[in-house]
Amino acid sequence: FSKWILYVGEGRLNEPNDGVANIDITEELLITEVDNPIESIIREIYGNSFATEKDPSYFQSRAILCPTNDDVNSINDHMLSRIDGEERIYLSLDSLDPSDKRNKDNPTYSPDFLISIRVSGVPNHALRLKVGCPVMLLHNIDAHGGLMNGTRLQIIQMADHVLQARILTGTRVRKLVLLPRIVLTPSESRLPFKMRQRQFPVSVAFAMTINKSQEQSLSKVGIYLPRPVFHMANYMLQCPV
């Protein structure tokens, strides 16, 4: 296994090649008994008791990694639906940023259009949460208090305008914190306009993108690849060193 990891890192698998090669994953790393791919990887990483699990340490070092946000949303929605307890859906307030004078009167950028935008680092318009579910912070709030972009937490209580959560990672593990709604501005430079969103700065984090996992310390990881990962760097991020 260590030799295989070394060859992946050095780009030496399936040589010689013209710079493009398929990476064959060793059999011991694969989930071979697959009836339903999503159910199978959930069962392998989280077991069968996650729906009633409240112990924060249970979620602290587990995650399913995916190549795209759509894949992440599919798994998170599936797992959230199986958790016992009350569900709340928090809707965001999306608008053009007041500083975007050029587009302020453009009818194309209506509220209905803006809530359909999906960009990295911003929660979905409809944020589904349940008590006990793990979430990831999407914005720096309080570095000294342990609330940084990428910090994972567990939802403890839900109110209309504030969430209570327990920190799962970083330097303030198990600390209880309050998370308010804040104004978020996507950093996505490809958008031809500047928007902002008022929402709780978290996303459900049973699963996360491969890129988001870079700053995480995980001991039990599943990699969900419904399609090939074309960028070598993405695959390298998943391999332990």
pLDDT digits (tens, 9 = 90+) for 131-171: 999 999 999 999 999 999 999 999 999 999 999 999 999 88
Q: Are residues 25 and 39 in the same domain?
A: no
Q: Are residues 80 and 45 in the same domain?
A: yes
Q: Are residues 3 and 51 in the same domain?
A: no
Q: Are residues 69 and 23 in the same domain?
A: no
Per-residue pLDDT tens for 90-119?
Answer: 999 998 888 888 888 888 888 899 898 887
- Total domains, the chain: 2
Answer yes or no: is pLDDT of 14 > 80. Answer: no
Mean pLDDT along residues 222-238: 65
Q: Say what the pLDDT of residue 1 is.
A: 59
Going along 59-217, which residue ranges are E strands? 62-66, 87-91, 93-96, 126-130, 134-137, 152-158, 162-167, 176-180, 182-184, 195-199, 202-204, 207-209
Q: Are residues 10 and 62 in the same domain?
A: no
Q: Are residues 5 and 116 in the same domain?
A: no
Q: Which residues constitute the domain of residue 175?
A: 31-238
Q: Are residues 152 and 44 in the same domain?
A: yes
Query: And the tokens for 122?
Result: 């911003």
Q: Are residues 11 and 101 in the same domain?
A: no
